[in-house]
Chain A
């Protein structure tokens, strides 16, 4: 009974992907011209290979998160995606952000997620359900969204200007404590509140009383 929906989703989704690929292939050279710092012609260096690998890791992890039936696998996929993103940060010469990504996400958020999974699913239960719903419509919408964003990404003539990759930790520290001082303090405040709130919400005795 779901077949037509699935069929519809697959067709539209694949149509979107085909469209995107077509667009990419058709508009490759201008896209390169637009985005590339260097001309398209050039040796395929290792850095490029690493980039693609990281990108693939990221996308794959995300796909695992999105599609895996087992939530534990989803968490692992999330780990991969986060790592990939950190790698991309490095490629984008945002080293501090990359480090922060690794520390906060993988060191904090991911751990939290895993804890949550464990707490909310009985230990020892074999399959940890990660059932999905509205698969077709969700897929459809996501595909359209993806197509759109890809079109935007490749069609818009971004005025790119080269910028050297220099260490950013110290400048970020100055920026946070000078230019962005107030948001920084607010962020710390938010974290405090979050801490307290999370504790209050999570403790069941209090709510029990």
Chain B
């Protein structure tokens, strides 16, 4: 029943089905007199199954995707995007249900499937390995254990479980939909659908300063999406009509992204009347760009990230770093580049500058952190800077590197946050100065962390390197100085990761941590696949590149019509 033409719909809405099931259970709970324990466990199972099916469908989509058959749309029919599922939604405004993938989004779809399942596993309090470990993590199901005292807070995975699971599933749907939507309106809807669960997941299940972090995250992203909405409306009213799925033509404008891309390439927006004396394309570009740059996050809009990460529970950090951050560059590549090529040329240098700032600035800030989770968060900011730089350079190599960097960072940083969560579940603090010598007590954990750290600092043979290398190599001829400056980040990155390594794992064992349990099976289930993926991508990045290259080629050819 899952066919190439509806696999994306399945991938998008399977989580919602799960959420509906949980809701149904909650509603009938009192009638059937189900115990709370049963409700929790069943909602966990539902979440696990739903996210697993989502991953399966996304892998199916990846398998069915044909990198060769990518082209631009011809006479309004999208030949480039595949697995299209199309229908009319709001006829008067030409709003369509229009999902499909090209090389750019299919990689993100695959990433979303994988990371969502990983996050689902990480949300379970199971396979903890013994009562002692469960108690140490504060995962006791009974409420009359140590309650919510600050010293030993209750683990997020046993607090208000059904609500958590429902929000998690909604979040998954929002993310998947954002990546597959090819209709501006639909994109925006999914974008917002994704925001709200995130807000609650941080604000309810987060750490001590969760409210502040959640509000910050929400306001930041909301400001961004407001700008985005304005830009979308502006573009809509400047656009020419396009035929709907049924071949009819009802409104005078269109939300169809492929149509808009074609119109943008044809200069439809370049010739639009200026706004406040500024060129229309520049205004719209800036609006879109800021909206997405907040998500990247780009300096100086990045300060929500450390707070959100530090306060968010581990699976949410995983999703945040693994997927949500990728929506910024994805949106820029999906909106700014195809729709506003001339403005993109105009803005490229600025993007490059911000990319360099991201890389260097965040790396130095990370060097100064004591909270290991903040360190990882800032390293995320720094690594996303490489994506910005690559996108600005616009050489094929740099663009491929940028998108590959999105994917590899989407694999590495979840692993990093999972690892941070591992130690936090045991020690209940993240202050690196207070650790030390843990490698003796948790050798397996030390090994995995070392792998993730080295992957993140760009060690060849692991995922991080090829992307950074391609970005730098590709940006070099365009931005010589910027690239040289950015390349110094390899030193700083190595410095702060190895320093963290040294402070946490090396040296004499801090007696406070004697008898800590090593990685348990739940964490193994989440960490080993990611580690394997890191090594695999390190030696075979073409696995991703072969899919995204043609899409980026089209993008670049849009930028420079030949």
Touch test A–B (CB under 8 Å): no
Could you tell me which B residues sit within 8 Å of A by CB distance? none
Q: Which residues in A have some Cβ–Cβ distance to B below 8 Å?
A: none
